[in-house]
Amino acid sequence: MSKQTFSGLALIRRALTGHRDWRPQWRKAAPKPAYDAVIVGGGGHGLGAAYYLAREHGITNVAVLEKGWIGGGNTGRNTTIIRSNYLFDESAALYDHSVKLWENLSQELNYNVMFSPRGVMMLAHTVHDIQVFKRHVHANRCNGVDNEWLEPEEAKAFCPPLNIEGNMRYPVLGAALQRRGGTARHDAVAWGYARAADALGVDIIENCEVLGIRRDAAGRVEALETTRGVIRAGRVGVSAAGNTSAVLGLAGVRLPLESYPLQALVSEPVKPIFPCVVMSNTIHAYISQSDKGELVIGAGTDAYTSYTQRGALHINTHTLDAICELFPTFRRMRMMRNWGGIVDVTPDRSPIIAKTPVPGLYVNCGWGTGGFKATPGAAHVFAWTIARDEPHPINAPFTIERFRDGHLIDEAAAAAVAH
């Protein structure tokens, strides 16, 4: 199960033989009757959790069950933004844990995930925005998370296409910049974790949908009923994003989640024009440029819960009018492809990474629009939680019970607009 080393040299050597002896990056495993642990959901979070279970906790008899193809859910549908400039200590710790893992992920996995810390700039358009972002900047600085305030001219210098003219409806009054933030290649994250986990003995089982969760007399998780047969497992970690409610419902566990469509789009590729990531919460849009040259653009969720993986045209028109307002030079650019994902949202828009009321059943969900950036960190602490049956200190606040007790971690409300 040793994996073939990836390197420039390996590439040159195999070029001589027409690249004929590259082996599958991960095995097409058939399910075994039983595993020590099973992860439901073959996205970056699930594959990563399997990898860290094997790598850091010595639990290698692990399967990842994916109902479709790995990385085909939100992992492969997001706009790949990575940042950790969150307001609350709990969030900053979680996301910064993740950014630190991102920084070494290509080397750790021997897979180029193309983490590119190009800087994430969040624009302020109102006095209220300035207050909110400065609060972030201060909180982040004190937490050891880089985040700095830029005046409009500095923002323009960092991102030349940005319109900072006063003729905008909401002129840019400044920006918060996290230089360590950036982007990565989404598919590579799933594939890199899959390959590395596979090399450690993890079975990655695609086209395997979970139909039922069996519990023993004591109520503990015992086995999963799947489209590929019954699979016994003492521990089950669910990382199923928009489908989490459905999967956990099989064990009678209810969660405070709602699943919404989230759209993204790319333009036709053009030569490098956009050096960083820019987000504007006030006018609802974010944008970066991929290595291929496409402008990658996203916005908020659609208004209603849905599992259709598609969104509405009027959401696109709003997203693109915001982009054209911020970057009037992009008005003649053209949308090449638009798609939708399903994001699961909690009442405080922060994730749940926790034990469930069912012994042996764990959940990592509720990432809303922020899941990709957290992939390595969430997977890492989720694996810890599964392995030790107790949360890592970083995910300890992200319980289900916080909603009962009122200990919300409400990043969105903290940016609430009023006056």
Partner 1 sequence: MSVWRTPGGGRIDRTQRRKFRFDGRDYQGVAGDTLASALLANGVHLVGRSFKYHRPRGLLSAGAEEPNGLVTVRRDAARVTPNLRATQVELYEGLDALSQNRWPSLQFDVGRINDWLSPLFPAGFYYKTFMWPKGAWKSLYEPVIRRAAGLGVAPTEPDPDRYAQCYAHCDVLVAGGGAAGLAAALAAADEGARVILCDEQNEFGGALLSDPQATINGAGGQAWVDQALAELSANPRVTLLARTTAFGYFPHNLLGLNERLTDHLSAPPAGRARERLWQVRARSVVLATGAIERPVVFPGNDRPGILLAGAARTFLNRYGVRVGTRAVLVTAGDDAYQAALDLHAAGVSIAAVADLRPQAEGALPTAARRAGIEVLTSATVLGTLGGLRVNEIVLGELDGTGGVRRKRTVRCDAVLMSGGYTPSVHLFSQSRGKLAWNEPLQAFLPDRSAERERSVGACRGIYDLAGVIDDGFAAGAEAASGRSGRRRSVSAHSAGGDGSAFLGAVPLAGASSDKSFVDWQHDVTVKDLLLATREGFRSIEHVKRFTTTGMATDQGKTSNLNALSIVAGALEVPIPQVGLTSFRMPYTPTTFGSFAGASRGDLFDPVRKTPMHDWAATEGAVFEDVGLWKRARYFPRGGEGMHEAVARECLAVRSACGIFDASTLGKIEVVGADAAEFLNRLYVNNWSNLAVGRCRYGILCREDGFVYDDGVVARLAPDRFHVTTTTGGAARVLAMMEDYRQTEWPELAVWLASTTEQWAVIAVQGPKSRDLLQGLVEDIDIGAAALPHMSVAHGRICGVPGMVMRVSFSGELGFEVNVPADYGLGVWRAIHARGEKDITPYGTETMHVLRAEKGYIIVGQDTDGTVTPDDAGLAWAIGKSKADFVGKRSLQRASMHAPMRKQLVGLKSRDGRTILEEGAQVAEIPGQKPPMRLIGHVSSSYYSACLAHPIALALVAGGRARMGTTLYVPMPGGDIEVEVVPPVFYDPSGARIHA
Partner 2 sequence: MLLISCPYCGDRPEIEFTYGGQAHLVRPADPSALDDQQWAEYLYMRTNTKGVHAERWRHARGCGRFFNALRDTTTDRFAATYKIGAARPDPAASEPTPGTAR
For partner 2, the closer CB: 260 or 327:
260
Region 293-322 residues binding partner 2, contact defined as CB under 8 A: 303-308, 312-314
Report how far apart, in Å, the C-alpha atoms of 132 and of each of 152, 177, 257, 365, 368 are: 16, 13, 27, 27, 21
Taken in order 362, 89, 287, 282, is the CA torsion positive or negative? Answer: positive
Question: Using CB under 8 A, which of the segments 37-45, 251-259, 270-278, 389-397 binds partner 1?
Answer: 270-278
**Cα–Cα distance measured from residue 302 to residue 292, given in angstroms and rounded to the nearest whole number:** 27
Phi and psi at 132, nearest 5°, equal -65, -45
Region 202-261 residues binding partner 2, contact defined as CB under 8 A: 243, 245-246, 254-259
**Cα–Cα distance measured from residue 164 to residue 124, given in angstroms and rounded to the nearest whole number:** 11
Sequence-distant (≥ 6) Cβ neighbours of residue 322 within 8 angstroms: 280, 283, 284, 285, 299
**Cα–Cα distance measured from residue 26 to residue 62, given in angstroms and rounded to the nearest whole number:** 14
Contact 296, 80 (CB under 8 A): yes
Q: Does residue 403 interact with partner 2 by CB under 8 A? A: yes
Nearest-approach distance from CB 399 to partner 2, in angstroms = 12
For partner 2, the closer CB: 155 or 365:
365
Q: Does residue 27 interact with partner 1 by CB under 8 A? A: yes
For partner 1, the closer CB: 106 or 395:
106
Question: Using CB under 8 A, which of the segments 34-42, 100-108, 215-223, 382-390 binds partner 1?
Answer: 100-108
Q: Does residue 112 interact with partner 1 by CB under 8 A? A: yes
Region 197-216 residues binding partner 1, contact defined as CB under 8 A: 206
Residues present in the chain in total? 419
Nearest-approach distance from CB 277 to partner 1, in angstroms = 13
Burial 33-65 (b: 16+ CB within 10 A, else e): eebbbbbbbbbbbbbbbbbbbbbeeebbbbbbb
> Residue 144: which of partner 1, partner 2, none does it interact with, CB under 5 to 8 A by kind?
partner 1
Nearest-approach distance from CB 306 to partner 2, in angstroms = 5
Nearest-approach distance from CB 313 to partner 2, in angstroms = 6
Q: Does residue 305 interact with partner 1 by CB under 8 A? A: no
Q: Does residue 169 interact with partner 1 by CB under 8 A? A: yes
Q: Which residues lie near partner 2 (CB under 8 A)? A: 243, 245-246, 254-259, 303-308, 312-314, 344, 347, 403-405
